Homo-oligomer: A and B are copies of this chain.
Amino acid sequence: MPTTTPPETLGRVADFLRPYAERVAAVGIACFGPIDLDRGSPTFGWITTTPKPGWARADVVGAFRALGVPVAFDTDVNGAALGEHRWGAGRGVDPFVYLTVGTGIGGGAIVNGRPLHGLVHPEMGHVPIPRDPADSFAGACPYHGGCLEGLASAVALRARWGTAPEALPAGHEAWRLQARYVALGIVAITAVLSPRRIALGGGVMGAAGLLERVRRDVADTLAGYVRAPELVAPALGERAGVLGAVALAQEALAERGVQ
């Protein structure tokens, strides 16, 4: 379904489900954020702040309440982390992080078997990182300028180099910088959370040789002080998010004693 306005888009999804209402046991939503995950909050289930036009303060969970089934709600990346933890590259690994480097950059984490929530939830794309001395690009994040997402998302690459990331050739300076920035983000995640493994997804990470280059840069930056987490490709590919939403729905049922 095309993403237009919140009422239209969410209405279409709810309409799609309605004929199957008797067969729907739970709904799992892995949603871009930041979102309100606090069940005691009057805006639980809403998207809070977002630069995506029209989607700030959209009530996502509310659109599905009429179905009368449990609605699980988490970030897209916590969903993907849960999907990969259950069925993919994170099986049996805890703490486990899923980091996506695409249009935006985001990370979700599984700690003690559950998606990590806090005051809000992780927003790993917005870690501040040191700018490379050779990089004069101001940064593409409307909130923070040169945070990780602002320097290394597909949007940032396109703005810095004036071309789509997939059109940048293998030897281009862009890839040295990209590996460096993603590695710095991973070092920040490692210093704070010490994950055993990080799955690196998203369109930009598909660039030939990038994962290997990031591995080398992470090792160089940590400089032997602590061990580097394993850095792997996701096993579920682009299905991590959708399978994560399925896992979220299953968890919502399990919490209610339904297996």
B118 and A193 within 8 A (CB): yes
Minimum CB–CB distance from A150 to chain B (whole Å) comes to 11
A194 and B116 within 8 A (CB): yes
Chain B residues near A107: list those with CB within 8 A: 192
Task: Indicate which residue in B95, B147, B194, B229 contacts A123 across the interface (CB closer than 8 Å).
Answer: B194
A129 contacts B by Cβ under 8 Å: yes
Minimum CB–CB distance from A204 to chain B (whole Å) comes to 19
Copies of the polypeptide in the assembly: 2
A187 contacts B by Cβ under 8 Å: yes
Contact A192 to B194, CB < 8 A, known contacts A123-B225, A143-B225, A187-B127: no
Query: Which of A107, A117, A225 has the largest number of chain B CB atoms within 10 A?
Result: A225
> How far is A227 from B37 in the complex, measured between Cα atoms in Å?
13
Chain B residues near A128: list those with CB within 8 A: 129-130, 184, 187-188, 191, 221
A144 contacts B by Cβ under 8 Å: yes
- What total of chain A residues lie within 8 Å of the partner, measured CB to CB? 48
Query: Which of A117, A119, A122, A127 has the largest number of chain B CB atoms within 10 A?
Result: A119
A118 and B194 within 8 A (CB): yes
A136 contacts B by Cβ under 8 Å: no
Interface residues of A in 101-146 (CB under 8 A from B): 107, 109, 111-112, 114, 116-131, 143-144, 146
Residue of B nearest to A51 (CB): B225
Residue of B nearest to A34 (CB): B226
Residue of B nearest to A187 (CB): B128
Chain B residues near A146: list those with CB within 8 A: 130
Contact A127 to B191, CB < 8 A, known contacts A49-B224, A118-B196, A223-B144: yes
Q: Chain A residues in contact with chain B, CB under 8 A?
A: 34, 48-49, 95, 107, 109, 111-112, 114, 116-131, 143-144, 146-147, 184, 187-196, 221-227, 229
